[in-house]
Amino acid sequence: MASAAESSNNGQLAEADTPDSDIAKTTNFEQMAVEAPGRRPFQRVYLWANKGANGEAKTTTEKYNPEEDGEAVGIPPKLPQGQELIPHGNAMEYVEVGLVIGGEPDRYTPQGGGRAADKARKQQRQQRGVVPRDPTALRAYIPVTDTIAAQAKYVVGCRMREDGRLTPRVIKAGSIFFYREFWALMDDPRANKNARESAMNQICKKLAASNQTVTTHQPPPITATEPDALEAPHSLAVSELANKRQTLVLLYSLSEKTAQKKYLDALLQNLEAVQPGVQDQDSDAESAMSVDHTDDNDGDGVKAFFDFNTALGDEDAVKVAEEVQAATPSMAAPDPALIAAMQQVLCRPDAVNQGGTLGDQLPRDCLGFFTAEGMDRIRSADEVTPGSIRALLRTVHNHRQHSTLSVASHTETGSGRAQMEPSPTSFRVILTCLSESLRLIEGAVTESAAVVLRQHGGFSRHQSLDDLMRKLGEAVDVHTVQSLVNHLGRLQLVQYHAQQQPVTKALAELRSMVDALLEAHSAS
């Protein structure tokens, strides 16, 4: 593949080629004439870039908007020119892969429907044939990477700057008319659409990689003083050391947020069990309840997230997801794309706080809650809007306001000892904690079944259990027997998963009741 790219990149399209033969196609076989005489295959250019946390150039996460980035601000030339071909400290290198209809990127993208709709679209596509180059067509690119990227991320070049450089905006692969030199490298162009799109992504990623090795994300290293902390006996089990750590964190959090000495005493007792003699050391217990939290211990991802002057890049978004989940292991794996989309909105100016951003309203210690709540409310990065983020910030504010107040009021008894009396605030906090606990338990039940299913693979359907046993009895070789026995085991796992559904449903109903009670109490 590399040799084909290199030989084609030495000059323009072959002399035998004509403008009429330079056709670009989408992975759904829509065709458009390129109409760019002199175009070079696998052209590399330099587009303007954002700055990362350390000042390095980084690709954008901002999506292409036809109204803001299209014809209204000008359509760039058909061929790269001037500064587009010259490296710059504030520019990133890209490979040109095709064209996008700037005025309507999804004009020919299939939008649902069954076989009848697919058949009708195919007939329309055949009737259209090769359409002329759209007047609003923009060139599409993929960023050059050191190694083969884990995901293909495409952009269009738009909003030409005064210095002649284009600004990148993210675009979907399905909207791109890929140049014919990329199609020439596909092994099976007649495979189904999903297979074609996957193959095209792989071709583009390889051509954009300087080093033909695959990028892998290594999990964070584990530092432990006991052997059992390195590996739990089961993927759903927690080692004794990890359990102790979570207990200490929980007790410390309770003592800090409620100002009740009993939690601090319990914390010291647990520390004594782990490290005998710790209670005899000269320490000020009160100082443990007024620790000044700073961002010195934040990871690189969290620091980049709270830099609301710069949109979060893909690598930083992955780091944020890893750091948030490491801080809250019970949380479902966060979606880096969703995190990046939410942070991008937080970078917007705040209409209320002049000179600030929406992100200034998000406390650093609420990032985990903000992420978890965002995952519950917003299904994908495409659905992130300023309105949804403002609603999230209001929820974060209410959560922080209610969960940081004292959970009880103090009265003095005749003996002079403080007696705890329930208060309206304590009731709200208890309901909030109960709702959150039920949500975590519900998620754990669902995840436990899903983990087992993932470990043992999917279940191939048979007409009945008798049908499966008949096939097992008729098997004549070891491999067939092993396969059918595995199917039998998977069937039991599916039945186990089905048995968990009533539990999950009951937990969800109970949580809904608690939430309704909390809402009614807050309104009273």
For the cut 50, the answer to whether the pLDDT of residue 383 exceeds it is yes
Task: For residues 33 and 413, give the distance between their C-alpha atoms in angstroms, rounded to a whole number.
Answer: 88
What are the tens digits of pLDDT across the range 37-82?
999 999 999 998 877 656 677 788 899 999 999 988 889 999 998 8
User: SS3 string of 364-386?
Assistant: HHHHHHHHHHHHHHCCCHHHCCH
Residue type at 217 in one-letter notation:
H
- Residue 142 DSSP SS3: strand
Task: Confirm if 10 and 43 have CB atoms less than 8 A apart.
Answer: no
Task: Confirm if 94 and 168 have CB atoms less than 8 A apart.
Answer: yes
> Could you give the percent of the chain with pLDDT greater than 70?
69
For the cut 50, the answer to whether the pLDDT of residue 326 exceeds it is yes
For the cut 80, the answer to whether the pLDDT of residue 459 exceeds it is no
Pair type for strands 31-33 and 130-131: parallel
pLDDT at 517: 77
For the cut 80, the answer to whether the pLDDT of residue 336 exceeds it is yes
Task: Confirm if 32 and 133 have CB atoms less than 8 A apart.
Answer: yes
What b-and-e string marks burial along 164-179, b requiring 16 or more CB atoms within 10 Å of the CB? Answer: ebbbbbebebbbbbbb
Q: Which of 401, 312, 387, 381 is nearest to 351 (CA)?
A: 387
pLDDT at 97: 97
| Token code pair at residue 430 | 């208890």
Task: For residues 365 and 292, give the distance between their C-alpha atoms in angstroms, rounded to a whole number.
Answer: 12
Q: What count of other Cβ atoms lies within 10 Å of the Cβ of residue 182?
A: 22
| Token code pair at residue 419 | 């007696």
Most confident of 11-20, 170-179, 270-279: 170-179
Task: For residues 148 and 135, give the distance between their C-alpha atoms in angstroms, rounded to a whole number.
Answer: 34
What are the tens digits of pLDDT across the range 71-88?
888 899 999 988 888 888
pLDDT at 403: 62
From residue 79, give the alpha-carbon distance in Å to each of 11, 29, 45, 76, 304: 14, 24, 10, 8, 35
Q: What is the DSSP letter of 349?
A: B
Task: For residues 367 and 365, give the distance between their C-alpha atoms in angstroms, rounded to a whole number.
Answer: 6
Quick one: which H or E segment has residue 411?
strand 408-412
- Residue 126 DSSP SS3: helix
**Distance separating the N- and C-terminal Cα atoms of the chain:** 69
pLDDT at 9: 44
Task: Confirm if 44 and 94 have CB atoms less than 8 A apart.
Answer: yes
What radius of gyration, in Å, describes the C-alpha atoms of the chain?
A: 29
Rounded (5°) CA angle 328-432-260: 80
pLDDT at 507: 76
What are the tens digits of pLDDT across the range 149-186?
888 999 999 988 887 889 999 999 999 999 999 999 98
For the cut 70, the answer to whether the pLDDT of residue 357 exceeds it is yes
Task: For residues 310 and 51, give the distance between their C-alpha atoms in angstroms, rounded to a whole number.
Answer: 7
List Cβ neighbours of 32 (8 Å cut-off, separation of 6 or more). 23, 24, 25, 99, 130, 131, 132, 133, 134, 137, 177
Give the model's confidence band at 218: pLDDT under 50 very low, under 70 low, under 90 confident, else very high.
very low
- Lookup result for tokens 């739990």: 232
Query: Which of 20-29, 90-99, 317-326, 484-493 bottoms out in mean pLDDT, i.e. has the lowest?
Result: 484-493
pLDDT at 415: 45
498 vs 88, higher pLDDT: 88
> What mean pLDDT do residues 230-255 have?
60
- Residue 12 DSSP SS3: coil
* Whole-number average pLDDT of the chain: 76
Task: For residues 196 and 180, give the distance between their C-alpha atoms in angstroms, rounded to a whole number.
Answer: 14
